[in-house]
Chain A
Amino acid sequence: MIRLEKRPSPSRLWTVATPVLAVALTMIAGGLLFAALGKDPVAAIRTIFWDPLFNEQFAAYSRPQLLVKAGPLILIAIGLSLGFRAGIWNIGAEGQYIIGALSGAGVGLAFYPMEAWFIFPLMVLAGGLGGWAWAMIPAILKTRFRTNEILVSLLLVYVAEQILASMSLGLMRNPEGGGFPGSRNLQQYPSAANTELFAGTGVHWGVVAGFVAVILAYVLLNRHMLGFQIRLAGQSPRAARFAGVNPNALVVFCLGVSGALAGMAGLFEVSGPAGQVSIDFNQGYGFTAIIVAFLGRLHPVGILLAGLLMALTYIGGELAQFMLGVPAAAIQAFQGMLLFFLLGVDVLSNYRVRLGKREVA
């Protein structure tokens, strides 16, 4: 029989080792999955984890893509992690990301074709505000009426998707687009384009924002009273009240920050890699960022690494799809496994596993 004994305090070794173990277990289980689908498991795993970085044929394209994909994931996950630490569960970053993209792109399109230096900063601001406003809906409902922010934020994702569809077919549709859905291409409008800052690296403003967010979140959580209160509220809500933390203000702050960061990420995406508002530009970054936040143990540096790893599985997954014909659903299952194993082995940092039968005296 296997028994679990609670450790007196969390094991530092296992706290660091569990993400590594989870990745290893994902590779094994994923390999079995690919083998069951009739693919060579070793080739599939290598295509996902190795080829995007080191294969001469693909790396030139894949390496920049790594930052392009990791940027929004990190930016969103950092925002989410603050709330998750405080026990405030924003599951609707995808919706905030879409609304942020629409708000920011709307500002840019409104100025078209004027060229001015302030247009892009204004768009970023509008993107953040849009995401913030969308997140304020669950925040206000929670603080006023005690509704569950998980449900409200999640359901608002579907509302946002409908608004996105409406915008790309209606109000924001490119008047010179020959009736095709989607807005003007912001990449072709220099004042509104989120361009690659260093050629061949994939670094755009969204990636820069992601790195800045990592640093700011680290400082906030480790050096600032507000970060301390966030951690306290998550670990013991009653002690937080006793310490003088206002739980409602914390809900508004955490949902607001995560919404604003998700909104900015949406704007950087729509004005950069995606280029235009279209029905399906969003790619599900808002949901994947939840995995990234947990994979990184809600720690800013962990999220940075997790974001890069997740981006790798995205790119490697795509590569495996067209190189080996692995179905897209299998890649999603593979990403799901990662979260599953991470949460599963998490038990090791708080519990000690004991093997052997219960002895009878």
Chain B
Amino acid sequence: MTSLLTVEGLTKAYPGVVANDHVSFDIAQGEVHALLGENGAGKSTLVKMIYGLVTPDSGHMTLRGAPYTPAEPRAARAAGVAMVFQHFSLFDALNVAENIALGMENPPPMRQLAARIRTVSETYGLPLSPDRLVGGLSAGERQRVEIIRCLLQDPKLLIMDEPTSVLTPQEVEILFATLRRLSAEGTAILYISHKLEEIRSLCDRATVLRLGKVVDSCNPREKSAAELAEMMVGAKLVAPSRAGGDLGDVVLEVAGLTLPAATPFGTTLRDISFSVRAGEILGIGGVAGNGQDELLSALSGEAHAAPDSVRLKGQSIGALGPSHRRRIAVLAAPEERLGHAAAPDMSLTENALLTGAIREGLAARGFLKWPAARAFAEKVIETFDVRTPGPGNAARSLSGGNLQKFVIGREVLQRPEVLVVNQPTWGVDASAAAAIRQSLLDLAETGTAVVVISQDLDELMEISDRFAALNEGRLSPPRPAVGLSMEEIGLMMGGAHDMEVAHVAE
């Protein structure tokens, strides 16, 4: 195979960290090439350099035999490099065709563009109506908008950053069919992910990054997931374990919880019912944007629901605010670390105070006990191995994994009766994720009822006793997690949203 893109000795340093250190690899024409690495390994910086968003400090790139130095994404697109980002840049209030036109240099007339969108979407098995409002699309459909936007440019290299984190298993299959078809037609795909099974089933080759350096490359089909993980982390990983204690009485009971959306594009929770016993972990899966944030707010007390729709040991708590719920040991850790679970510019001591004031007695008659708050922050840092110079550092100076350990640890150490966490290991490196999962399992063993909302199905299968899925604000009836097949889980999550699987040409 001929080489499409060759990268040689790319280096990029930021103040205090070398994000990429002499990275070299090459991508062949029509190849599906995986870029594998933990968070912070330098994957994002590398693709940003290829896409012209970041200028390398040194090193050079060759595209189809010619020197390639994109000064900006426009130049990269002109050279045939397209990228689908993890976070979409779409306007909710515009329709699909208008959104696509906004990203084009010289958009054709709307009717012509709509026709082209239809053609591309049918050719590649990505059904999407150009007239639909983006605000009403599921995450998977939004991703299709981004992919079609790229395909209209007829790219030679398509970069995809964590594309499956927002998809149901069925949608993943459809995406993979599309990608394989593109690859068969000669388009190379640079696929960034840390989901090892996906990489094994899709990719021809993998380049492994660790701490900004290329440490290995392999054919992922010839390796096991565990071997890939070890290449990525550079150490053996220990899977979380649990003793499997007995379940106690029902602690948290949610019955007929209905909550109108707070914003026009939010999700309305409809008639949600479940119960969690002492010592039990209930895993709640689902594609992003199907009511996860709203469910967490209803359980943390940030959103008020009918008093009887949430009960703690029979006591109605649906209308209580966050402070009240903390007082009765119902604690929560939201998904967004910076700006929701923690205040970015405040120190860890202040962030310890943020949720710990009530249960840890960090204030007396409204006056703050700073030494006690500092001691509590230090306890969280020590117990949960948070890597930071000290509790005086701002929350935003911590890496994602370390801040997440702090945020989860802060709640775990407050001896909750009920703990609700949303995306506990999102964007967290493998070892920190394992530590967080283990701490949730340990907490359940002490008799806490734990609700884990997550989009990572592997994680949920690993730690949950029972599993339920959110789909468009409704919760499927919880089922025992042991023995659930991927297909059953996918159907609980709503299957492939509005898609006829028959569309995909096999």
> Does B396 sit within 8 A of A, measured CB to CB?
yes
**Given A225-B363, A242-B341, A242-B355, A9–B397 Cβ distance below 8 Å?**
yes
Query: Do residues B16 and A8 form an inter-chain contact, with CB atoms below 8 A?
Result: yes
- Looking at A199-207, A276-284, A353-361, the stretch in contact with chain B turns out to be A353-361
Q: Nearest A residue to B345 by beta-carbon distance?
A: A235
B95 within 8 A of A: no
A133 to chain B, nearest CB (A): 26
How many angstroms between the C-alpha atoms of A177 and B10 in the bound complex?
85
Chain A, 208-228, contact with B by CB distance < 8 Å: what is the 0/1 string? Answer: 000000000000000111101
Chain B 46-65 per-residue mask, 1 if CB under 8 angstroms from chain A, else 0: 00000000011111100000
User: Inside 8 A of B393's CB, which chain A residues have their CB?
Assistant: 9
Rounded to whole Å, the gap between the CB of B301 and the closest CB of chain A is 8
- Would you list the 9 A-B pairs with minimal beta carbon distance, nearest first? A244-B323, A244-B322, A361-B56, A236-B343, A238-B340, A9-B394, A239-B343, A236-B339, A225-B366
**What are the residues of chain B within 8 A of A352 when measuring CB–CB?**
15
Does B321 lie at the interface of the complex (its beta carbon under 8 Å from any beta carbon of A)?
Answer: yes
Q: Which residues of B contact A241 (CB under 8 A)?
A: 302, 322
| Smallest Cβ-Cβ distance to A238: which chain B residue | B340
Q: Is the interface on chain B under 10, 10 to 19, 20 to 34, or 35 or more residues?
A: 35 or more
- For A238, the chain B residues whose CB sits under 8 A away are 336, 339-340
- Per the bound structure, the CA–CA distance linking A9 and B334 in Å amounts to 24
Residues of B contacting A231 in the complex (Cβ-Cβ under 8 angstroms): 346
A228 to B358, CA, bound (A): 14
Interface on A for B, CB 8 Å cutoff? 5, 8-10, 223-226, 228, 231-232, 235-236, 238-244, 246, 352, 358-361
* Residue B300 CB within 8 A of the other chain: yes
- B326 at interface, CB cutoff 8 A: yes
| Contact partners of A361 in chain B: CB under 8 A | 10, 55-60, 69
Distance in angstroms between the alpha carbons of A10 and B346 in the assembled complex: 11
Please report the C-alpha to C-alpha distance between residue A75 and residue B396 in the assembled complex, in whole angstroms. Answer: 34
Q: Would you list 12 pairs from A and B whose C-beta atoms are within 8 A, ordered by A residue? A: A8-B15, A8-B396, A9-B393, A225-B363, A235-B346, A239-B339, A242-B355, A244-B301, A244-B321, A244-B324, A360-B69, A361-B55
- When C-beta atoms are compared, the residue in chain A nearest to B339 turns out to be A236
The reply to whether the CB of B354 lies closer than 8 angstroms to some CB of chain A is: yes
Please name all residues of chain A whose beta carbon is closer than 8 Å to the beta carbon of B163 when the two chains form the complex.
none
Beyond the given pairs A224-B366, A361-B60, 7 more chain A to chain B contacts, judged by CB atoms under 8 angstroms and listed by A's residue number, are A9-B397, A239-B342, A242-B340, A243-B322, A244-B323, A361-B10, A361-B55
B residues within 8 Å of A by Cβ?
10, 15-16, 55-60, 69, 71, 300-302, 321-324, 326, 332, 334, 336, 339-346, 350, 353-355, 357, 363, 366-368, 370, 393-394, 396-397
- Which B residues lie within 8 Å of A244 (CB)? 301, 321-324, 326
Min CB gap B243→A, angstroms? 32
Q: Given that A232-B346, A242-B334, A361-B58 are contacting pairs, would A224 and B354 also be in contact in the complex, using a CB cutoff of 8 Å? A: no
Pair A243/B354 contact, Cβ less than 8 Å: yes
Contacts of B343 in A (CB 8 A): 232, 235-236, 239-240
Contacts of B10 in A (CB 8 A): 361
Residues of A within 8 Å of B321, CB to CB, are 244, 246
Say whether, besides A9-B393, A242-B322, A225 and B368 are in contact (CB < 8 Å): yes
A225 touches B367 (CB 8 A): yes
Contact at B300–A242, with CB atoms within 8 Å? yes
Residue contact A9 to B55, C-beta cutoff 8 Å: no
Chain B residues, CB < 8 A from A246: 321
| B339 contact set on A, CB distance < 8 A | 236, 238-239
The answer to whether A360 and B55 have CB atoms under 8 Å apart is yes
Chain B residues with CB below 8 A from A235, complex form: 343-346
Complex Cα–Cα for A27 and B128 (A): 62
| CA–CA, A8 and B60, complex, Å | 29
Partner of B353, one of A5, A9, A228, A240: A228
Q: How far is the CA of A235 from the CA of B344 in the complex (A)?
A: 8
How far apart are the CA atoms of A9 and B396 in the complex, in Å?
8
Residues of A within 8 A of B16 (CB): 8
Q: Which A residue's beta carbon lies closest to that of B301?
A: A244
Docked-complex contact A224 and B346, CB < 8 angstroms: no
In the complex, what's the smallest C-beta–C-beta distance from A29 to chain B, in angstroms?
A: 31
Which residues does chain B contribute within 8 Å of A226, judged by CB atoms?
A: 366
Q: In the assembled complex, how far is the CB of residue A295 from the closest CB belonging to chain B, in whole angstroms?
A: 21
How many angstroms from the CA of A359 to the CA of B396 in the assembled complex? 29
Cα A225 to Cα B366 with chains together (Å): 5
Contacts of A359 in B (CB 8 A): 55, 57
Q: Which residue of A lies closest to B333 (CB)?
A: A242
Closest-CB distance, A196 to chain B (whole angstroms)? 36
B332 to chain A: closest residue by CB: A242
Q: Which residues of chain B have C-beta atoms less than 8 A from A224's C-beta?
A: 366-368
Residue of A nearest to B340 (CB): A238
The docked-state distance in angstroms from the alpha carbon of A131 to that of B15 is 50
**A28 → chain B closest CB, angstroms:** 31
CA distance in complex: A238, B302 (Å): 9
Chain A residues with CB under 8 Å of B353's CB are 228
Interface centre among B343, B344, B353, B397 (most CB of A within 10 A): B343
- B60: chain A residues at CB < 8 Å are 361
Residue among A241, A244, A246 with the highest chain B CB neighbour number at 10 A: A244
Measured CB to CB, the nearest residue on chain B to A5 is B15
Give the docked Cα–Cα distance between A291 and B380 (Å): 41
Which chain B residues border A228 with CB–CB below 8 Å? 350, 353, 368
Residues in chain B near residue A225, CB distance under 8 A: 357, 363, 366-368
